[in-house]
């Protein structure tokens, strides 16, 4: 293995050593995540609460993809390697396991590892990530040779790898990589907190986003709270140096609090982030307008959660203005997050009864996201589904029911595929699309099909409400009300009454 690594440079490697950014370049989430990385990476998308059931209304999807980290600049993914032999690939995948199996390493084995670890540790990680499945890098740290690792550079490389894996939709592997980075930096910070505390916080911020991507909301909240606890005292001592990092972590904390239904706290936190980002953008607009737009996008959602619709509309209009300017200069970097803010602008316009404008803006968002999903489906199909879900509602507002049904069915198809792979992350949005699909069937008089769609939504919401009642009990209640109506319309009165009674028991 070492002979092949040393024979000549392997084309396509070296990409992790060249990455300097310690922050999450996901999303905005590339800047997509609207998408999250700030954005929420890719990009996560929060949902609006269901409307009052008596209004018999569909549910829109707010785009919180931005909730996450910073924008990803050029958003590099994982380079393809085509000249790696099977022998080298096997060695890169399994050498750590074999070393751990050796109870008493011989002198020759020790000498080989002393040559390999300081010089080729990052290269083997790159080879595995580019040609196979990245399953972690720390197994061999259990050996007596741990002093040969450069934990500082490895932690940085793993953070970069996590961002790149997230960019191409390999979310489980991205979580594995950032988990390794957190473990390394936690050990470094324990020894030298003044030097490595902020690097640990950087990794924790990204760790929170990756956990959220996979629906692990409790752990995601804990991780981002720890990051904020690191940044806040540093920002108090040196605001010029640390306020930007604090604002970024507050942006993500707001999203995670909202995931848990803690809306008052979420609003207060995002308002603090906007204040910090606005001050930076006033001094250095080219450097901080993207961050300000991201926080404004999320502020709009939090304000809408509180029924403050005028302020929510003003915030998202400002965010769209900033992102249009950024996308005009760098479309590859900012079209994704522009689409996310357009998605939200459509919702806020609809809140104000401005349905013509809402439809036009939603159609623009779908166009941008369809193009992005055509190039990178693993990264953007979720976002496309969000905008299609909302497009179906906007079309329905205009009486274009056949088109509304087609958009709703496409959204369900995308979300069903996503939920099949990652149920913890996508069952909630699948449930919402199924709920909306039942309205589309009902409005076209297809009463036999409507109950099946909403019954599936009820089953999903019931499971979600058992885990996160503050977030999902109201959605379960509204879905049960809709199920009752659909069953009644199809002549199934006894079943309709059962669903209605359960809805009432949840607090009609």
Determine the Cα–Cα distance for residues 65 and 63; give it in Å rounded to an integer: 5
The percent of the chain in helix, strand and coil, each rounded to the nearest 5, is 75, 0, 25
| Amino acid 147: pLDDT | 64
| Amino acid 101: pLDDT | 57
Determine the Cα–Cα distance for residues 242 and 230; give it in Å rounded to an integer: 10
What contacts 307, CB < 8 A, 6 or more positions away?
A: none
pTM: 0.78
Give CA 156 to chain center in angstroms. Answer: 21
- The secondary structure of 72-123, three-state, reads CCCCCCCCCCCCCCHHHHHHHHHHHHHHHHCCCCCHHHHHHHHHHHHHHHHH
- How many Cα atoms are found within 13 Å in the side-chain-facing hemisphere of 199? 27
| Amino acid 133: pLDDT | 83
Contact indicator for 465, 473 with CB cutoff of 8 Å: yes
Give domain limits for the chain: 445-508
Contact indicator for 132, 93 with CB cutoff of 8 Å: yes
What contacts 171, CB < 8 A, 6 or more positions away?
A: 165, 210, 213, 214, 422, 425
What contacts 398, CB < 8 A, 6 or more positions away?
A: 355, 359
| Amino acid 230: pLDDT | 94
Determine the Cα–Cα distance for residues 472 and 260; give it in Å rounded to an integer: 10
| Amino acid 25: pLDDT | 35
| Amino acid 20: pLDDT | 53
* pLDDT tens-digit profile, the chain (508 residues): 555 555 555 666 667 766 654 455 333 333 233 333 333 332 333 333 232 223 345 666 666 555 444 333 344 677 777 666 666 666 666 566 555 555 555 556 656 666 666 566 677 778 777 777 888 876 655 555 566 668 898 899 899 999 988 888 888 999 999 999 999 999 999 999 989 999 999 999 999 999 998 889 999 999 999 999 999 999 999 999 999 999 999 999 999 999 999 999 999 999 999 999 999 999 999 999 999 999 999 999 999 999 999 999 999 999 999 999 999 999 999 999 999 999 999 999 999 999 999 999 999 999 999 999 999 999 899 999 999 999 999 999 999 999 999 999 999 999 999 999 999 889 999 999 999 999 999 999 999 999 999 999 999 999 999 998 988 999 999 999 999 999 999 999 999 999 999 999 998 5
């Amino acid at each position: 293995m070492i002979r092949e690594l040393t024979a000549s440079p392997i084309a396509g490697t070296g990409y992790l050593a060249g990455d300097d950014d310690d922050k999450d370049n996901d999303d905005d989430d590339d800047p997509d995540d609207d998408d999250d990385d700030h954005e929420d990476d890719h990009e996560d998308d929060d949902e609006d609460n269901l409307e009052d059931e008596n209004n018999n209304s569909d549910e829109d999807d707010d785009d919180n993809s931005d909730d996450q980290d910073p924008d990803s600049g050029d958003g590099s993914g994982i380079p393809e390697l085509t000249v790696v032999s099977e022998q080298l690939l096997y060695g890169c995948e399994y050498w750590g396991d074999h070393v751990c199996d050796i109870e008493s390493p011989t002198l020759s084995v020790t000498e080989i590892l002393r040559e390999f670890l300081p010089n080729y540790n990052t290269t083997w990680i790159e080879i595995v990530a580019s040609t196979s499945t990245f399953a972690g890098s720390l197994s061999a740290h259990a050996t007596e040779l741990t002093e040969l690792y450069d934990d500082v550079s490895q932690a940085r490389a793993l953070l970069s790898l996590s961002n790149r894996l997230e960019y191409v939709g390999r979310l489980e592997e991205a979580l594995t990589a950032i988990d390794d980075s957190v473990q390394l930096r936690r050990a470094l910070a324990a020894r030298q907190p003044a030097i490595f505390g902020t690097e640990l916080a950087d990794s924790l911020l990204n760790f929170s986003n990756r956990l959220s991507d996979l629906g692990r909301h409790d752990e995601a909240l804990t991780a981002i709270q720890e990051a904020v606890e690191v940044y806040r005292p540093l920002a108090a001592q040196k605001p010029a140096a640390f306020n930007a990092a604090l604002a970024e972590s507050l942006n993500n904390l707001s999203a995670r609090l909202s995931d848990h239904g803690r809306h008052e706290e979420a609003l207060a936190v995002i308002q603090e982030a906007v204040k910090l980002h606005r001050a930076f953008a006033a001094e250095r607009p080219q450097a901080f307008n993207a961050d300000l737009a991201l926080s404004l996008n999320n502020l709009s959602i939090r304000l809408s959660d509180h029924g403050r619709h005028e302020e929510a509309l003003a915030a998202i209009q400002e965010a769209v203005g900033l992102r249009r300017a950024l996308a005009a200069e760098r479309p590859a970097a900012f079209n994704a997050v522009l689409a996310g803010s357009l998605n939200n602008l459509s919702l806020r316009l609809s809140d104000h009864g401005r349905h013509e404008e809402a439809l036009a803006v939603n159609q623009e968002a779908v166009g941008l996201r369809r193009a992005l999903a055509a190039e990178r489906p693993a990264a953007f199909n979720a976002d496309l589904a969000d905008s299609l879900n909302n497009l179906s509602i906007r079309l329905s507002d205009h009486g274009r029911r056949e088109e509304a049904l087609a958009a709703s069915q496409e959204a369900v198809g995308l979300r069903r595929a996503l939920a099949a792979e990652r149920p913890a992350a996508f069952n909630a949005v699948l449930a919402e699309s199924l709920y909306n699909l039942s309205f589309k069937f009902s409005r076209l008089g297809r009463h036999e099909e409507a109950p099946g769609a909403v019954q599936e939504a009820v089953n999903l919401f019931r499971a979600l409400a058992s885990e996160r009642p503050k977030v999902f009990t109201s959605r379960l209640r509204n879905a049960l009300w809709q199920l009752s109506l659909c069953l009644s319309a199809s002549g199934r009165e006894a079943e309709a009454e059962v669903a209605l009674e359960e809805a009432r028991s949840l607090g009609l």
